[in-house]
Amino acid sequence: MMLTAYVVLDGFDLGAGALHAFVARTDQERRQVLAAIGPYWDGNEVWLIATGGVLFVAFPSVLASGLSGFYFAIFLVLWCLLLRGISIEFRSHIEHSLWRAAWDFVFCAASTLLPILFGAALGNLLRGLPIDRDGYFSLALFTDFSARRPVGILDWYTILAGIFGILAIAGHGGTFLAWKTDGKVQERSRRAAVWLYGMVAVLWPLVTVLTGLVNTTLFAALPRRPVAWLSLLIAITGLVTVGVGLRGRKDFRAFLGSCAFLMGMLAATAACVFPVMLRAIDDDTRTLTAYNASVPTASLQIAFAWWIVAFPLAVLYFVTLFRIHRGKVVAASGRDGY
């Protein structure tokens, strides 16, 4: 739930950042994009920290193994997050075209690279990892680009997962911008979302089939897990809703459909892989699961008691935030960033 909240919420401003160089041509239009994500982006990123916090509290061995194994990739993620935040805050400090163009490039590049990294990370988790007897692993950036031992962070499958990730997130950002902006930015965002989600619709079945080939155990439990079927139905319904909403210029409906697609897809994946959290690629006895990697039950109960108080408060905060900033955005003027 925490990771899905991050993908859905930070996903729309990551997608907006990846698209802003294409849907916004002038400084005023790019300010319009920044105004659309301005009230949300920094709060959305907190869900990633919260996801790490949940792993630390409930599954510390998974967090320790993942942080050490994906050491280089995590540093790339941190640099992208840093540069993205800096670019948003710094671009309007100096009224010079070169200064603003440079930060716009950084913003677009970081926002594009993050979904690719997250998609490749998910591909690594689904493919499997070279976990040793102590529960740890190390990965080179790439080896021979096959999905077999010795594996690296990047191979044909994880690269495909990264491409699918950026297409889905950019399409999600396009539906958000179509909903929150007007004028030329809205029209370009709507067209971009149509093309991007068209490619997602074509690529999704292919990625699913190839995932089943890379991880032959992934769909074994599918017939016995109604949550997976329900989540798959939500994802398909969301994808159809995106298409119908964009075609009918019902931008808010298209954005809700995009949220449903991402939520359903991630939930279906989680339901299929459960209880596996870090899959060992060549020895199932070394796989870290929700059972062998969790803290004692008493600790889980205490953590859950706090979680059921904190999670609704966080949801209430975001509901209030969206209500305060409802309607179309107005680009800031002067040196205001958004």
Q: Is residue 131 part of a domain?
A: yes
Q: Is residue 335 part of a domain?
A: no
CB of 182 closer than 8 Å to CB of 133: no
Q: Is residue 213 part of a domain?
A: yes
User: In the prediction, which pLDDT does 197 show?
Assistant: 97
Six token digits for residue 92: 């309007």
Six token digits for residue 238: 């969301």
Looking at the chain, the whole-number percentage of residues with pLDDT higher than 90 is 78
Q: Is residue 334 part of a domain?
A: no
Given pLDDT bands bounded at 50, 70 and 90, which one contains residue 336? low
Nearest by Cα to 59 from 312, 306, 309, 299: 299
Euclidean distance between the first and the last CA atom of the chain, given in angstroms as a whole number? 30
Q: How far is CA 337 from CA 103, 124, 322, 327, in A?
A: 12, 37, 19, 19
Instruction: Residue 54: give the domain boundaries.
Output: 2-277+289-324
User: In the prediction, which pLDDT does 337 show?
Assistant: 59
Give the count of domains, the chain: 1
Q: Is residue 312 part of a domain?
A: yes
Q: Distance of alpha carbon 70 from its chain centroid, rounded? A: 17
What DSSP state is assigned to residue 151?
Answer: P
Handedness of CA 215, 219, 225, 228 (dihedral sign): positive
What's 272's domain CATH number? 1.20.1630
Six token digits for residue 152: 């690296």
CB of 17 closer than 8 Å to CB of 34: no
What DSSP state is assigned to residue 274?
Answer: T
Q: Is residue 123 part of a domain?
A: yes
User: What does the pLDDT look like over 112-170, one tens digit per residue?
Assistant: 999 999 999 999 999 999 998 888 988 888 888 887 888 888 899 999 999 999 999 99
CA atoms of 203 and 201, how far apart (whole Å) = 6
Beta strands in the chain (DSSP E): 140-142, 152-154, 276-278, 288-289
User: What does the pLDDT look like over 206-255, one tens digit per residue?
Assistant: 999 999 999 988 888 888 899 999 999 999 999 999 999 999 999 999 99
Cis check for the bond before 150: say yes or no (omega within 30 of 0): yes
Q: How many residues in the chain?
A: 338
CA atoms of 42 and 56, how far apart (whole Å) = 22
Helix, strand, or coil (residue 25): coil
- Main-chain dihedrals φ then ψ at residue 270, nearest 5 degrees: -65, -40
User: In the prediction, which pLDDT does 152 show?
Assistant: 86
Q: State the pTM of this model.
A: 0.94
Given a cut of 70, is residue 335 above it in pLDDT?
no
Which residue shows structure tokens 């716009």?
Answer: 104
Q: Is residue 95 part of a domain?
A: yes
User: In the prediction, which pLDDT does 141 show?
Assistant: 81
CA atoms of 106 and 169, how far apart (whole Å) = 18
CA atoms of 133 and 150, how far apart (whole Å) = 17
Beta carbons within 8 Å of 178's beta carbon, 6+ residues apart: 186, 189, 190, 193, 246, 251, 254, 255
Q: Is residue 76 part of a domain?
A: yes
